[in-house]
């Protein structure tokens, strides 16, 4: 009986792996929804209609957040852990920051040790069955994530806030000041992603080091 149960469990595990499709490249586009009180209404207007696009190609990801304020772009290369951040707030305010693996990890240290509690709640997003997970950070704060296991990208670099999440996030919460922001997938594509999206501009940006940015932000 024990051998039969072992074989059955192994069979189910193999079936689950085969059911999940792994893609080398593709993209997910999220719509940004802001929940605020009356005191944050004006700030919320600045994110009205904002979108976040995440492009995957092999071991590289490109994340773009576009709003009325401007565009923030992050290129992350899992091959060496380095990243490049480009902030575009008008033609006269374009900044590029190159980050080593250590600096990228430092910038996202709030997510160190993140833990996910997997729940039985489900919902369907874009035709994909999604499961609920509650993320808890070291400071005790939490946020909700709905993720799917029906497909995955080769890099599985869904963001430092999803380290250890057993699937692709298609809806998740975040905080921006006192505002709660929800990212909801509006489109998933498995079309080829042009390599040019991961090229680092050679001109048009004012370059700053990560340490310079930290000093400006008063993090020292």
What is the pLDDT at residue 34?
Answer: 87
More confident residue, 43 or 32: 32
All structural domains of the chain, each given as residue ranges with its CATH number in brackets, are: 22-216 (2.50.20.10)
Report the pLDDT averaged over residues 72-95: 92
d(CA 16, CA 106): 36
Contact 129, 113 (CB under 8 A): no
Report the pLDDT averaged over residues 69-75: 94
| pTM, rounded to two decimals | 0.85
pLDDT category at 136 given cuts 50, 70, 90 is very high
């Amino acid at each position: 009986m024990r051998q039969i149960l072992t074989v059955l469990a192994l069979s189910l595990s193999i079936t689950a792996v085969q059911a999940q499709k792994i893609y080398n490249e593709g993209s997910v586009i999220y719509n940004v929804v802001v929940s605020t009180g009356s005191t944050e209404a004006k700030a919320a207007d600045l994110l009205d209609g904002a979108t976040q696009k995440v492009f995957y190609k092999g071991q590289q990801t490109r994340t773009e957040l576009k709003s009325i304020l401007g565009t923030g772009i992050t290129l992350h290369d899992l091959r060496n852990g380095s990243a490049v951040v480009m902030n575009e707030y008008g033609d006269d305010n374009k900044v590029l920051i190159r980050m080593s693996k250590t600096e990228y990890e430092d910038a996202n240290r709030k997510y160190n040790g993140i833990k996910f509690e997997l729940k039985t709640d489900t919902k369907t997003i874009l035709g994909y069955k999604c499961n609920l997970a509650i993320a808890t950070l070291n400071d005790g704060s939490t946020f909700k994530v709905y993720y799917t296991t029906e497909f995955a990208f080769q890099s599985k670099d869904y963001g430092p806030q999803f380290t250890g999440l057993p699937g692709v996030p298609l809806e998740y919460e975040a905080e921006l000041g006192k505002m709660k922001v929800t990212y909801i997938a509006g489109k998933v594509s498995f079309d080829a992603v042009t390599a040019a999206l991961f090229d680092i501009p050679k001109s048009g940006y004012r370059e700053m080091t990560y340490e310079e940015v930290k000093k400006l932000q008063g993090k020292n």
